[in-house]
Structure 1
């Protein structure tokens, strides 16, 4: 059968299975409220996997049915989706619709936003076509499930503004950096796309402390926790935190939000958060309501530089968004600093949590060419591949660093003396590679493989 026939049949089959799994929990798009199963919680693993396959097939079907010139033009001008979403976020359209009782005419929105009605109409009609907002009657708009998230109390608007303002500007520096012999191999944010496009000699984080970065700092403060909140449910749910042992060590804990959530779900675990000394007050603030656990040692805040040998013995070491900040050699050196502690407890695991850049290998033979995308999705990669691809490029454009595939991170682990024991695919756009001490290192400790 042709690819078109196979896709249509596969979508029908997958859709039926998903509908049967969800039962009465049917999704909605045009109601101004979250779909609890997908937006606030997580669908069960099988339903999520069916969803991923359906999305892959639908994206391939759209590409198949789109004429070449239309496809290329659509991708070429996709930046205007950013333009439109940025305008809607900045003008607080979602809030203004809510304030007007749930619906608002284009003329009303233009008046309260103090902007041109025709230009705003172009933005709104484009976003409605992309299923953000809905048009209930001609030129009368309301929130749908997705636009409702842009209301002021969520933090979503601030995150959108990071990407649609400074992120959009930084994108203009990506190609110049890729073509500059002095910068193309750099991962230092001070020499990356953001610094190039904004003509500054610093990365985003130092820029936040400048007068010019005040607005961006505000958006980071409000928007980044919203983005982190998207992944926190999967982080605490899709890892068997209580199966590794009694002690979890977060290496490079940042503000400590991940371990706080782990502690809430698994209060019996011992939690250790390691950071550089300037971050300790931030960690103390995160755990300010847990004085008894801090006093008893159930929660420990330790000063530690992850470029120095690890001396704290734990059952699992968690590194979130750490490896991506450095080149391959430096990342391997960083992970190798854990080996001294792993030799003291060879059963311990190392969890590297990152955006695992997805791949989709194109079939080579004529027979395989008609196999639907859902049947070609590699298991060892992040979920929501399209979003993950956009985010991995966005983080490198804004923050520098180096995003990697599963294979890339495995190579770094091997160079550090670690071997892969498992991959945990989160029901989100991040994933976690589980490492352990490799066999040679285990033999050095006198431990047999059977004891690992």
Structure 2
């Protein structure tokens, strides 16, 4: 009799979990748990590739098994299915979130009206930075010294954390952090004293014309939140301020076609 996919997944979970557990025991590392005194991660070093492969294989098999045992309806959740049938366009307020909250606002406008929810949302997403948007990668992947003592506009820069990091590593640069008023509340007061002359905060909606003439415009983790047509609008709003030689630096996620990543990586990016 042919072995079912469910049975195959159970075997994969069992064998790969056993591999990880055996490694942890051999290295004197504790078994994973959510106890208060438990370590924050498994402690698997970067060079233990076979153990990391086993861990990921167990996770991917677990995800697929859970999906199969839930079935399509439970997996997609009713509100997602309803949104797919209700909305035929690509407007930012045509989402499952809009249906669930009974609102015509897009998610960011809705969060601005619900500050408690916004704080929880911001706290949650701060833990979900994809490796391609790691701050160190941004720092190393562009020649910031080529701007000299010029000015960088951090469009939608919120707390200014990225500008602060770059200002510390590139002491000739100056920054203007732009965002909506709610996002900028209290940011200037938290700025390190040695950077107050090099980092300024400015209220700005990136769907309105840019007014700061600068040497570079950084758009980090902006475009993945908006439909393509809105991303084009954001870029177009930079045009009035662009001078010859100005750079537009985009640091964001690009999602490859479905089925090209492993199941775990696919789940993380979508």
Do the structures match in fold with TM over 0.5? Answer: yes
CA contact (8 A) 1:355 1:388 kept: no
Counterpart-to-counterpart distance in 2, 1:174 and 1:134:
42
Correspondence 1:307 to 2:207: yes
Aligned to 2:81: 176
Residue 332 of structure 1, CA deviation: 1.2
Residue 339 of structure 1, CA deviation: 0.8
Pick closer, same or farther for the CA change 1:289–1:361 going to 2, 3 Å: closer
CA contact (8 A) 1:177 1:193 kept: yes
Residue 301 of structure 1, CA deviation: 0.8
Counterpart-to-counterpart distance in 2, 1:240 and 1:177:
46
What SS is found at the alignment partner of 1:318?
strand
Report matched runs for 1:154-233 at 5 Å.
171-173=76-78, 176-177=81-82, 179-180=84-85, 182-188=86-92, 191-194=94-97, 196=99, 199-201=100-102, 206=110, 209=114, 217=120, 221=123, 223-228=124-129, 231-233=134-136
Report matched runs for 1:250-399 at 5 Å.
250-285=154-189, 288-294=190-196, 296=197, 298-342=198-242, 345-359=243-257, 389-393=266-270
Counterpart-to-counterpart distance in 2, 1:277 and 1:332:
23
Aligned to 1:406: none
Counterpart-to-counterpart distance in 2, 1:346 and 1:385:
43
Counterpart-to-counterpart distance in 2, 1:133 and 1:283:
47
Pick closer, same or farther for the CA change 1:387–1:361 going to 2, 3 Å: closer
User: Which aligned runs of 4 or more in structure 1 are off by greater than 4 angstroms?
Assistant: 124-127, 129-135, 168-171, 202-211, 359-362, 384-388
CA contact (8 A) 1:247 1:270 kept: yes
2:142 corresponds to which of 239, 251, 258: 239
| Superposition CA RMSD, Å | 4.5
For structure 2, the 5+ residue unaligned runs are: 43-62, 64-69
CA contact (8 A) 1:242 1:266 kept: yes
Greater Rg over alpha carbons, structure: 1
What SS is found at the alignment partner of 1:136?
helix
Pick closer, same or farther for the CA change 1:186–1:240 going to 2, 3 Å: same
**What is the TM-score normalised by the length of structure 2?**
0.63
1:128 corresponds to which of 11, 17, 34: 17
Counterpart-to-counterpart distance in 1, 2:234 and 2:115:
30
Residue 239 of structure 1, CA deviation: 2.0
CA contact (8 A) 1:171 1:193 kept: no
Report matched runs for 1:50-61 at 5 Å.
none
Counterpart-to-counterpart distance in 2, 1:251 and 1:184:
30
Q: Deviations over 1:263-319 (max 9, x none)?
A: 12112210110111222224225xx2423432x3x1111111111111111111011
Report matched runs for 1:427-438 at 5 Å.
none
Residue 252 of structure 1, CA deviation: 0.9
For structure 1, the 5+ residue unaligned runs are: 1-67, 81-123, 152-163, 363-383, 394-452
| Count of aligned pairs between the two proteins | 225
Pick closer, same or farther for the CA change 1:320–1:305 going to 2, 3 Å: same
Structure richer in helix, relative to its length: 1
Pick closer, same or farther for the CA change 1:210–1:247 going to 2, 3 Å: closer
Pick closer, same or farther for the CA change 1:125–1:220 going to 2, 3 Å: farther
